[in-house]
Amino acid sequence: MIRFPVNDDRQFNNADGFAMAFDPAWKECHSKGLLSGLDLDEQIETVIKTFDDHPFIQSSPQQARQVARFRVRLLDLEG
């Protein structure tokens, strides 16, 4: 089994690096009640604002939003 640092805060300018940051940011926003009453696009924007300095958001904002929508569907985060 390959182990990796749990508290690794490196950011990578690619979709995988964005997804690794998006998932915990979504969970944190959800736990704080920041996503209540918002439609999906508003939820995604709220989450992205919490780490908008991420290199993938800076270099590929449209792709980052597409990855975010994919993550929400893939992990069934909406329901």
pTM as predicted: 0.82
Task: Let me know: does 57 contact 64? Beta carbons within 8 Å.
Answer: yes
Give the chain's domain count: 1
Average confidence score pLDDT of the chain: 88
Tell me the longest C-alpha to C-alpha distance in the chain.
Answer: 41
For the segment 51-65, the average pLDDT, to the nearest whole number, is 95
Domain with 52, as residue range(s), is 15-74
Residue 43: band (very low, low, confident or very high) from pLDDT cuts 50, 70, 90: very high
Q: Give domain status of residue 21, yes or no.
A: yes
* Domain assignment of residue 8, yes or no: no
pLDDT (average), residues 34-51: 96
Other Cβ atoms closer than 10 A to 38: 13
Q: How confident is the model at residue 78 (pLDDT cuts 50, 70, 90)?
A: confident
In a domain, 3, yes or no: no
| Any domain includes 5 | no
